[in-house]
Structure 1
């Protein structure tokens, strides 16, 4: 395989900064696979809620973290996520899951289980992986590391538009609260790792961000 076919592109960053749209497009442009690790954390959160597990009880979440069968499709043009064979791609974007994913994601047993799954999917490479601890924990040896962010107001406006929400201020407050939790957690916090290229998407179009990331890959591979 060529170096590009083996490349691992690790993209971390804040919610609403454009990670998913950017990563899917970059993977498609370069003929690579795509993995949304955030969808996996949302999927296990959805399962915990469905099973009646108290998501604020770390011990209760940890005790059942190994039960659900989570499968991620890696086609950038049509990524899928299933739990025990059920497609949950719509359900995991609900307000209920949004409000519960941070405490579930902070449980070490959940992170250990999903990081193992993510590394198995990455395998020999040829993939763009997005999340919050990809460059620091999941793929520390990735050839290309990107940290994508944007001004909180811009992120909130984008996320509100995506979700059809009217209250941008409430959306911004929710994003900042999640950032604070994810940046401050003891295990695999959201952070900018050494060697990562920081890209601020506030005043850039999606196409401009995509071109920047594709350029980084071509430059380094």
Structure 2
């Protein structure tokens, strides 16, 4: 994969449980690129608002808090970090309480615009020689990455899967098992988040120029290979 031109930007979006994060990290690792998790910026903003006592129902206060968010996002695919005001919140932002609340920030249009600006800056930074990737580029993932944040990416992929597969994956990730009880416990979190976020961004259907990779019947390694195949095809075009 070292034959891809530099800088090279891969954008991957898709619904909850589609495997965006883990697949994107593996693709970035294989290509020697940086990794930007745009979803982590929304989670970090949610954590910051809650830590500051900002009511998530107060849209103006949330937007104001996000504009002052002291965020440092690490872009190493082997060890991505999320640091807010000097505190590593990489684990904290994955807690259920944040997952349940993050849509309040993600659907706040002013907050979304500010975080989008920061996401673009992170992507642009990886085009420079002094960046983590040395100017090779980045794999960026998130719900609106292929249409709003990086519509000019060299490769744009919609990573999707059946609802059944997505629920099972998220249940395994959160509960350590994909039995019926765990899947049911995860259902509301996954489907409600998708429903909430779909009010401000489209991530269920591929836009023009975006390649769909359906991982419903693929294991993790096969999904990574499928995305890398899209990259290879694009770099040779």
Q: TM-score range by the shorter chain?
A: over 0.9
Q: Are 1:150 and 2:161 matched, yes or no?
A: yes
Instruction: Indicate conservation of the 8 Å contact 2:40/2:93, yes or no.
Output: yes
Instruction: Indicate conservation of the 8 Å contact 2:42/2:106, yes or no.
Output: yes
Which residue number corresponds to residue 95 of structure 1?
Answer: 96
1:209 to 223, 227, 232: 223
Provide the rounded CA distance (Å) in 2 between the counterparts of 1:19 and 1:127.
Answer: 14
Provide the rounded CA distance (Å) in 2 between the counterparts of 1:163 and 1:202.
Answer: 19
Q: Are 1:200 and 2:214 matched, yes or no?
A: yes
Number of residues of Structure 1 aligned to a counterpart in Structure 2: 219
User: How high is the TM-score relative to the length of structure 1?
Assistant: 0.93
Please list every run of 5 or more consecutive structure 2 residues that lacks an aligned counterpart in the other structure.
128-135
**Displacement of 1:201:** 1.1
User: How high is the TM-score relative to the length of structure 2?
Assistant: 0.87
Which residue number corresponds to residue 45 of structure 2?
Answer: 44
Instruction: Indicate conservation of the 8 Å contact 1:5/1:32, yes or no.
Output: no
Cα deviation, 1:55-104, whole Å, max 9, x if unaligned, reads: 12212211222112111111111111110111000100111101110111
Which residue number corresponds to residue 176 of structure 1?
Answer: 191
Provide the rounded CA distance (Å) in 2 between the counterparts of 1:131 and 1:112.
Answer: 14
Classify the secondary structure of the residue corresponding to 2:158. Answer: strand
Which residue number corresponds to residue 190 of structure 1?
Answer: 203
Q: Are 1:135 and 2:146 matched, yes or no?
A: yes
Which residue number corresponds to residue 73 of structure 2?
Answer: 72
Provide the rounded CA distance (Å) in 2 between the counterparts of 1:102 and 1:179.
Answer: 9
Which residue number corresponds to residue 23 of structure 2?
Answer: 22
Bigger drift between 41-50 and 171-180 goes to 171-180
Classify the secondary structure of the residue corresponding to 1:184. Answer: coil
CA RMSD of aligned residues (A): 1.7
Q: Are 1:159 and 2:148 matched, yes or no?
A: no
Provide the rounded CA distance (Å) in 2 between the counterparts of 1:113 and 1:142.
Answer: 20
Provide the rounded CA distance (Å) in 2 between the counterparts of 1:150 and 1:120.
Answer: 30
Classify the secondary structure of the residue corresponding to 2:67. Answer: coil
Please list every run of 5 or more consecutive structure 1 residues that lacks an aligned counterpart in the other structure.
none
Provide the rounded CA distance (Å) in 2 between the counterparts of 1:33 and 1:5.
Answer: 12
Classify the secondary structure of the residue corresponding to 2:147. Answer: helix
